[in-house]
Structure 1
Amino acid sequence: MEPRYIIIMDFSTGELIKIRLTDEQLISSEEYEDFGEFLSSLEEEYDFRLKDCLYMTCHNISERNYNL
């Protein structure tokens, strides 16, 4: 089972981007040997440049915020 969520930290814009992959995107991701290559295919759709980012994947998403 592939991870459903991608969390991207974009250093060029200071943004935190959270993406919930669709069923179609999950199927498409399995066609790539490297997940980074798949993620590169999403750059235009979600307006980020992978070379300016760090990312992680997860099956469930949870978050905590402090002093915001």
Structure 2
Amino acid sequence: GLYVCLREGEREGWGEISPLPGFSQETWEEAQSVLLAWVNNWLAGDCELPQMPSVAFGVSCALAELADTLPQAANYR
């Protein structure tokens, strides 16, 4: 898989991107390419999520943690 870490000042957000063989439509290499392009766009101020599902999930998790919108604890019942 791939990890993405976004930082703004003292804040940071992490996301995991794991295309699954036989399940995901994209390969690891395709996901890496889309992630790198997205990071360059994000650094330029474009925050639109990528269209590739596994990359969009990981990026959205990183953005949510960066914005402090994730709950501190989860209820898995």
> TM class, shorter-chain normalised?
0.3 to 0.5
How does the TM-score come out when normalised to structure 2? 0.31
Computing the radius of gyration from Cα coordinates, the structure with the larger value is 2
Does 1 or 2 have the higher relative contact order (CA < 8 Å, sep 6+)? 1
Identify, as 1 or 2, the structure richer in helix. 2
